[in-house]
Chains A and B, each alone.
Chain A
């Protein structure tokens, strides 16, 4: 069955960097687009970024453009999110999710990893 396991979250000071990972199994990773979606404590879902199945197309939310970088390594079945210049408002649970079809909105979500930005 589909499994998405995020890691790399934790407590970090403002201005620092962090790289989140998401290891996929149970499906053909290289055949699907992948998303990152975050959820601040007690808040709704906020889309962060998407990458195409082959890594050639990436889109970002305006709120993270220039600071966040989405990437993937299909040989390792792994999705990444590089987060630079962390801010307090980046505090959230970060979910990775595979698209339902080859592209499009998320179909299956991981359990998430918590990033807490605080001095």
Chain B
């Protein structure tokens, strides 16, 4: 059971906009930055969003992050087939003194 809660799956058609939610608590998302990672099949995770809504250099602006209270979300607009991957949210948890991840969301591009 993950500390951060994500839907196990999401899907969309090419060109669509999809959002993936991440729910936590006051000790993690509520008081710390949220990060989002993309993991393509058979590869290492890649940072997509840091500090709730900032994209590292090289990440397309089709990817955006937001946070409100103890929840966060990742939005992907103009969906492409190459976006098919697992997506994870993460945040530091002050109560656990640990980095916590969501269980991951498998995105399927139909």
Contact = CB atoms under 8 A, between A and B. Distances in A.
A109 B90 CA distance: 14
Given A104-B92, A105-B35, A105-B91, A47 B45 contact: no
B96 to A, nearest CB: 7
A56 to B, nearest CB: 15
A111 B33 contact: no
Interface residues of A, number: 22
Contacts of A45: 37, 39, 45, 88, 90, 101, 104
A108 B47 CA distance: 7
A100 interface: yes
Contacts of A59: 97-98
Nearest to B88: A45
Given A44-B101, A47-B100, A106 B47 contact: yes
Contacts of A106: 35, 37, 45, 47, 90, 99
B56 A100 contact: yes
Contacts of B35: 100, 104-106
Given A47-B101, A61-B98, A100 B88 contact: no
Nearest to A101: B50
B99 A47 contact: yes
Interface string A14-57: 00000000000000000000010100000011110010000000
Interface of A: 35, 37, 44-47, 50, 59-62, 95, 100, 104-112
Interface of B: 2, 33, 35, 37, 39, 43-47, 50, 56, 86, 88, 90-92, 96-104
7 contacts: A44-B2, A47-B99, A47-B100, A100-B47, A106-B47, A107-B47, A108-B47
